[in-house]
A and B are shown apart, each in its own frame.
Chain A
Amino acid sequence: EDQVTQSPEALRLQEGESSSLNCSYTVSGLRGLFWYRQDPGKGPEFLFTLYSAGEEKEKERLKATLTKKESFLHITAPKPEDSATYLCAVQSPSSGSARQLTFGSGTQLTVLP
């Protein structure tokens, strides 16, 4: 069974204070690792997909990296508008042809002005 563990559960940063969020996973063959951002009362917003160890993707102040056991979401010089819950999810052969996702419990990020 696929497992996804995110840490920390909550993170408070000052504006401009860079940090990283962690997503550790256990799967029997990774098809893809996904990062989403979720604002309160909203559905998740797609950020990145990573497929293989060593892959990196960037979008504005966010950079996602992947190893064989974990992924990091690096936030450089965050702004208050980056405050949200960041969700990590994996897809594996056990997802079947429907390509279901297994989600972690998320990291709630608060960036203080």
Chain B
Amino acid sequence: GAVVSQHPSRVICKSGTSVKIECRSLDFQATTMFWYRQFPKQSLMLMATSNEGSKATYEQGVEKDKFLINHASLTLSTLTVTSAHPEDSSFYICSASHRNQPQHFGDGTRLSIL
């Protein structure tokens, strides 16, 4: 149980392209979804928290116009990196939780901007 699916697993695209990443909870309803960024050999950095039907709450220093988050249903959240540039290249990971349950993570998306 508690499976979170994240797609795509890898994206390579040109600078200026917008990229959408999907995060789905497959066997539970996710009241809250989280988006993280992870640099090589570093831990997870929380970017934003989203609740179904509400606007996402962004961490300090994260540009909300750059990283658009939509949590349209209890099983789906999307992160869109708008007009991506090489400095946006990173490993993006989503997680989902139901009420007080632990967060369960997707397998991440490796984003490479050329």
Binding site for B on A (CB under 8 A): 32, 34, 36, 41-46, 49, 87, 98-101, 103-106, 108
B102 within 8 A of A: yes
Interface of B is mostly: strand
Chain A minimum-CB-distance residue to B32: A98
**How far is A106 from B32 in the complex, measured between Cα atoms in Å?**
24
Chain B minimum-CB-distance residue to A105: B43
Which residue from B2, B34, B102, B104 sits with its C-beta under 8 Å from A100?
B34
Chain A minimum-CB-distance residue to B44: A103
Interface of A is mostly: loop
Pick the most buried of A42, A87, A98: most chain B CB atoms within 10 A of its CB: A98
Q: A103-B43, A106-B43 are in contact. List 7 more A-B contacts (CB 8 A).
A: A42-B107, A43-B108, A98-B32, A99-B32, A100-B49, A101-B103, A105-B43
Q: Chain A's nearest CB lies how many Å from the CB of B105?
A: 4
Chain A residues in 8 Å Cβ range of B105: 36, 43-46
Pick the most buried of A32, A42, A45, A87: most chain B CB atoms within 10 A of its CB: A42
B93 within 8 A of A: yes
Chain A residues in 8 Å Cβ range of B108: 41-43
Listed A/B pairs (20) with beta-carbon separation below 8 Å: A34-B103, A36-B105, A41-B91, A42-B107, A43-B4, A43-B6, A43-B93, A43-B107, A44-B44, A45-B105, A98-B49, A98-B51, A98-B57, A99-B97, A99-B100, A100-B34, A101-B46, A103-B43, A104-B43, A105-B42
B102 touches A34 (CB 8 A): yes
Q: Chain A's nearest CB lies how many Å from the CB of B55?
A: 13
Chain B minimum-CB-distance residue to A102: B46
Chain B residues in 8 Å Cβ range of A99: 32, 97, 100
Pick the most buried of B43, B49, B57: most chain A CB atoms within 10 A of its CB: B43
